[in-house]
Each structure stands twice: as structure tokens, then as C-alpha cells.
Amino acid sequence: MTAEKQQVNVEAQRTTGIGRAWRVGPRVLVMAEDPDLGDWLLEEFQNSGCAVALATRGRDGLGLLRTGLVDLVVSEMALPDLPGMDLLQEVRSMKKVPKVILTTAHPSEFLASRAIASGASAVLYKPFGMDQLLAAVAQALGN
């Protein structure tokens, strides 16, 4: 088995909700290269009643997005294989367009305004708290 297939299998084991009956609540895809951030968001979204999946690479996340089962994406802006602006372009071309919240460790008003103009619901600067993220989620989903 190739290293890439092994990584996908590991990620499939860390995923909750994909391929199963979704719980009531938003269906969230977390795209995070940082394993600590990904695990934290996965746990917090599960505890908040969301069905959630985790992708550590952008291309894997796009595969999950193409299923049309995702309501919201929370992604690091600087994934090495899929920068945030490229993610927004991919999302806009989909039949069912999920909401997107981007996170970044490099605050930039220019980049944030460009991301919002390109379809992001919010851009959060690290470090951020779960309360701040959940407020952005509620606003993005109209709750």
C-alpha cells in the first residue's frame, strides 16, 4: 500500500459522520494540516452536535466536498496543496456550495477582505477560541 493510501485510510478512521447517517446539525468539513488544530476542531464540533469530517490535505477535502454532503468548511488558509483562495474558487464551481470559514496565523486585512470578496463567510486569526468560531459558524449558516 502506498504512503498516500495509508494516509487516506488513517484519515478515514479519524472521520465521523461521512458514510453514516448524519446527525441533526450542520455537516462540517475541517481541513487542517496541523494535527492538533484538526483534532481540537473535530472534537469541539462533535461536542456541539455537528457531523464532522477531517481532511489533512486539501485534495482529500475536495473529494469529500464533491459528495455534496457538506454544509460548512473550516479550513486553514495555508494548506500546502490547496491555498485558501484556490479552495474558494473550487467551492464556487460546485453544484451545492457550502459556506467556508478560513483560519490563518498571518493576519492580513488585505487577504481577509479578498477572501470575503471571493466567497468566504469569515476569516479568523489564530489563535481563536471556540466561542469565536461558533459565532462565525452561526452567522455563516444563518442561525
Domain CATH code at residue 93: 3.40.50.2300
Whether the Cβ atoms of residue 91 and residue 73 lie closer than 8 Å to each other = yes
Local confidence band at 13 (pLDDT 50, 70, 90 cut-offs) = very low
Evaluate whether residue 9 is within a structural domain. no
Predicted local confidence at residue 24, as pLDDT: 61
Average pLDDT rounded to a whole number, residues 101-128: 94
Structural domain harbouring 90: 33-141
pLDDT tens for residues 56-85?
999 999 999 999 999 999 999 989 899 999
The total of structural domains in the chain comes to: 1
Query: Is there a domain that residue 66 lies in?
Result: yes
Establish if 10 belongs to a structural domain: no
- In a domain, residue 53? The reply is yes
Could you please report the per-residue DSSP string of 94-117?
Answer: SSS--EEEEEESS--HHHHHHHHH
Q: Is residue 23 pLDDT above 50, yes or no? A: no
Give the Cα separation of 55 and 134 in Å (integer): 20
| pLDDT for 129 beyond 50 | yes
